[in-house]
Amino acid sequence: MDTTSFTPTAECSPRTARIPRIVIVGGGAGGMQLATRLAGTAGRRALAEIVLVDRYPTHFWKPLLHEAASGHCDPATHTIEYAAQARHHGFRFVQGELLRVDRTAHLATIGAVFDADGEHILPERQLHYDELVLALGSVTNFFNVPGAAEHALPLENLEQAEHFRRRFLAACTKANHLAQEQPARAAPPICINVIGAGATGVELAAALRHAVGPLTAYRFKSLIADRHVCIRLIEGAPRILPTLDERVSARTHAQLRDLNVEVLTGIRVSEVTRDAILTAAGQRLASDITIWAAGVAGPAMLAQIGDVALNASNQVIVNDTLQTPDDPHVFAFGDCAACPSQGSRGYLPPRAQVAYQQARYLGQAFMQRLSGKRVRGFAFHDAGTVVSLGKTGAVFQTELGRSRSLIIDGLAAIGLYEFIYRKHLLGLHGTKRTLLQSLSHWLQSHNRPSIRLH
C-alpha cells in the first residue's frame, strides 16, 4: 500500500505551473481509458495536467486486429483520433515514440515524427513528467525460433494487419488466376498457417475461414473456398486454448473442424522458412503466409527506462499499486507490466480485461493521491474469457470458484463478446456517442459487402 501524494515541479508549462503533470505513454486499450478518465476528473478540476503520448495519431482497439486482418472490419470506421479525443475530454496529446527516460531529471525523450514520405515533421523532444505511466502494450515473442522473425508475420498493430490482408488478397488473386488459366488442373491450394492456438490464434483462424467464402463469391470466382484455401492452426500444447477449461478447448476445436480449419496440436515449430514451417518431428508444412500468434513480451524499449526491473518476458515489474518498486513516480500497467496475480505466484495475463480494470483503478488511485488520501492495492476480478469464432459462434468461460467453471456458447456468448468492445467505447465516449457509433457500425454492416474486397 502506498500513501505518497504528489509534489508539483517547476518545469510544468506556465499555464499549469502549480499542478503535477501525469504523462501516460501508450494510448491503447488501457492508456486511452486512463487518459480519458483522468482528464474528466483530475484534469477537469485542475488538479493535474494529463498528457497522452502515442507513436500513432489514431487509436484502434487491439482485440479487433484479427477482424481488420481478415477484412471483416474497416479500420477507418473504428479508429479514434487522439487529437479529437484530447480536445473533447481535456487532455493533451503528443505524437511520437518514447525512446528513453531519465528518471533522475524526470524527462521522457520522445522520438522525431516523419510522414509517409519520410519527411521530417517533428523533431526529437523532451517531455517533463511528475508521474510517468507506461502503457506500451506488448510485442510478438518469437522465442528465438530460427526464421520466425524474418518470415512469420506478427499481428501487433493496424499496419501489420493491413500488410497481412494485402498479402492474403494477393495470394488469392494469383491462385484464382491460375485456376482460370488451367481450369482442367486443380490449382494448388494457398496455405495460411497460424502458429499459436491461444485466443488470438483461434479467433484469427476462424475469421480467415469466414473471409474466404465472401471473397470467392465476389471476386475469386474460380476458387473453391474449402479446396483452394487451407487455413491451418498449429499449437505446441496438447490442446488448443491450453489456459482455458478443457471443455472450452473441445467445443472450440469441434467448431473449428466444422469450419474446415485444420488444427494441429502437440506440434513444436523448429524453423520458419519463406514458404514452409519445419517441425521438431521433421515434418515440412507448406506455407504461403505464416502468422505468429504464439506469445508476447514487453517492448524492447522498456530497457531504456533507467534500469527499472523487468521480468523474463521483458515486462516492467510493478507492485500492487502498479508502481515500480525502484521508483514510485513510474507506473506501468496492461500488457507491458508484470503485475502480481493474487492467489498465485505468477503475473496477470496480457488481456484487454486486465488493462481495462487497471486503467479504472489507476484513475481512482491518482485522484486519491492528489487529494492526499490513502491508496489501496489493485485487485483483479476475472469476469471470464470469451473466444469469438465470428458469425458461427463464441465460447465464454467464467470461474465459479473452487475449480468449477461456467461455460456458455451460442448467441449469449456472441453478445458478450460484442459487449466487451462496446464497454470500451462507453468508457471513451459515454452513452450517447457510443449508441450513435454502434448504430453507424450496424448501418454500414448492412450497406456493404461483409468483407473488404480490395
In the complex, the residues that contact ligand FAD under the rule CB under 6 A are 25-31, 53-56, 62-63, 65-66, 97-98, 135-137, 155, 199-200, 203, 299, 301, 334-336, 350-353, 355
User: From the CB of 109, what's the least distance to ligand FAD, in Å?
Assistant: 10
Nearest to 435 by CA among 443, 426, 447: 426
Per the DSSP assignment, residues forming a β-bridge with 52 are: 24, 93
Least distance to ligand FAD, CB of residue 39, Å: 17
Distance CA(180)–CA(199), nearest Å, equals 37
The residue among 176 and 353 lying less far from ligand FAD, judged by its C-beta, is 353
Q: Closer to ligand FAD at the Cβ: 350 or 390?
A: 350
For ligand FAD, which is the closer residue by CB, 321 or 353?
353
- Give 39's DSSP letter: I
CB of 224 vs ligand FAD, minimal distance in Å? 28
Shortest distance in whole angstroms from residue 150 CB to ligand FAD: 20
The residue among 130, 109, 143 whose CA lies nearest residue 38 is 130
C-alpha cell at 188: 494448388
**Which residue lies nearer to ligand FAD by CB, 406 or 439?**
406
Residue with nearest beta carbon to ligand FAD? 28
- By C-beta, is 241 or 269 nearer to ligand FAD? 241
CB of 37 to ligand FAD, least distance (A): 13
Indicate the residue type of 199: A
Q: Report in angstroms how near the CB of residue 361 gets to ligand FAD at its nearest.
A: 13
For ligand FAD, the closer of residues 140 and 434 by Cβ is 140
Minimum Å gap between C-beta 43 and ligand FAD is 19
Q: Can you read off the three cell numbers belonging to residue 195?
A: 502458429
* Between 278 and 383, CB nearer to ligand FAD: 383
Q: Which residues contact 138 (CB under 8 A, 6 or more apart)?
A: 156, 296, 297, 298, 299, 315, 335, 336, 350
Phi, psi of 410 (to 5 degrees): 80, -155
**For 359, which DSSP code?**
H
Strand segments, DSSP code E, in 174-310 are 190-195, 229-234, 261-264, 269-272, 276-279, 284-286, 289-292, 296-297
